Structure 1
Amino acid sequence: MTKGITATAIAIVLGIPATAAADMTIGTWNLKHLGWDNGKRIDLVAHIAQGADLWALTEVMDEQAVSQLEDELESLTGEQWSSMTSHEVGRSSYQESYSYLWRESAVEYTKGAVVYMDPGDEFAREPYLAEFADKETGQEVALAAVHIVYGDSRADRTPEIRQLAEIWDWMSEVYPGTPRLIAGDYNLTPDHEAWQMLRDQGAVPAITSGATTLSSADGQYANLYDNLWLDQGTLDVTGSDIVRFPELLSLTHEQARDIVSDHAPIYVTVGNAEPGFVAMKGASGGKSTSSECININEAAVSRLDELPHVGPARAEDVIEARPYENVGGLTQVSGIGPSRVEDIKASGMVCSL
């Protein structure tokens, strides 16, 4: 697994101590047209998303899909999650939104959610900004979610990259004294000269080696386009990494690109936070590798939570509502509607009753 910089490395190289204490994992993920009718497996997205406490999401096409992701996360983790989504941004008929998604036990939204006004019309998709706080320590962080235009060449991307220095400076006015992070998909590697203006403002990339876009070959990644740029020395950043989610879900890259995303998420840990990115039990497109079917009237939580849309918390509800005459009876469980029952039937994982 490719490793990024840590607070210790920043302090050694730059001679600036990390000062702020907090305990949370912050991630960013391009979710490849989240909300389009494209067969995306929200349950698989949720399995990966549970690994961080606060997310900046790009390529959100429908706010309702983010709500579905919240539902999946709450079922999977047994905790409350919240989200907020920007209005659609973009110059052409193609437009998309940004979303923030967070675990309520660890993070709270504090203030300042706003889409950048972009007085010079520099961005094809204006960044979305907000301030959050670690719920235990009160440590605040200001985030800007960004999706840089791809264009026809790298030269088309560099004007927006250079303009991020203005966003960085503006954030210090909107969120004075708050550590800043710019999160997103930049379509440009962090070693390109276009980043120099942002570096001159004191920002550094969390990930400096490796790659985040999925190539067609399993286990191989093409470009380091996704990143978190952060205030050097103002947060106790204790780790950073790229989440190779196809391996965690036992998916080929072709499958992962089709039903999850063509980008891998990245994250930083702050303070004593421990990321929760783990392999999915019985993973293979989210289906059980066991040859035995799942009897919904008899199976334990550990088997029931292998079903689509059923995590550990919802598995307890499934057990509570027994017995069932058929799979359709699962609609009496909160959060399992007719469409989710159809997904469960289609999985072929449930025994005939």
Structure 2
Amino acid sequence: MYKSNLVAIFSILTILLLSGCGQEPIETNNKEIDTVEQGEDENSTQAEEEKSTEVEDKSSDSSTQTDEEEMQDSNNNEKVNSLSELKVHYIDVGQADSTLLQFSHDNENYTILIDAGNWNQNNVVNYLNSQSVSQIDIAIGTHPDADHIGQLDKVLNSFEVGEIWLSGNTSSSKTFQRLLKAIDSNGVDYYEPRAGDEFEVGPLEIAVLYPSSISENDNKESISLKLTYNEIQFIFTGDADKSAETTMLNSGFNLQADILQLGHHGSSTSTQSSFLDEVDPSIAIYSAGSDNSYGHPHDEVVNLVQNSNIDLYGTDVHGTIIVSTDGKDYKVLTNKDGTVSPSSTKDTTSGDSSEQQQDTNSNSPETTDSCIDVNSATVEKLQEIIQIGPARAKELIDLRPYSSVDDLSRINGIGLARIEDIKSQGLACIGG
């Protein structure tokens, strides 16, 4: 009896309270109800009811983002805003290659070097000093050619380097041997990246695109990388050729990037149209020497890039090129003003043809009208070089590769005087 009267009194009080409010109860989800019930006073309850009403109003509009999406966008914006400036320096090192990346995160400075110019120069070391570089987190030699690993031994001897990445292909050149010695004497960690590897260096993501294995095919098996700085992507392929590009295309990797460094200094042995279409860059950059004997960049590559409405920059025309980005937008700064156009370097039509032959026949030489590459020319072609007869041509091939014309002194009977004769003729050269 007492219990029944209590229930009746409670029901009457409930009706009076609801009618006094002058409104129906707010329908909302259980989560919001829990929040309301956990309120400590009438004011907090009212605030939560207003919040619930706002949530209902937003959810009724299908074009409005959910709370979760808004939070995700907020997190992404905070990530972008928290990123420091990344500077990518495409260093003017003549007919060679070197790229410096610098950025900072959480009060830590990061430095990455991809290739290090030619063996007979100091321009990479000098440039690093000019940028106040004191330590390098990762130094990368895309392949053993002397115009890519040329100054890596000097870099290791001059700066504190955390890791060095090499393709694993080897060379008998003095340049490569000096590099191995520098790695050992400085105790630098050594790594051979393979396709599918992924790394994070602070906020920078590095994905290895190529190679998955090696077979001493140096240029073709250049280390190829995709670097992502939040929303901005860069691709580097060293001297990888069209067959390597095809492998990357078939790999299933996401190759889209904003900035592409053209393979092999803008040579026609690289940058096939299907690869360019897949990368779909806004900017293309190549590294080449002014009036180089190879005719880099080749006309067909220049035309392909520009006909694709891609802005083209080259170190032979623009000097050192710097791309700076906050992870969302980027800008391009150049040391010189200029416009790349077909035949902006020496026009060497026969050079284009012979390099295309090299794509399908590794024994075909890379030559131009005035240059015979001693690292790839045939026995017959080598004999056009003064002091090189049939026997020496065969020995020359057996002793390949060479890091310089002076290195031909390894051939029996080729002394300093004959080296000077070869240089004076101006026909022999070292391939890029």
TM (norm. structure 1) is 0.36
TM-score (normalised: structure 2): 0.31
> Is the helix fraction higher in 1 or 2?
2
Larger Rg: 2
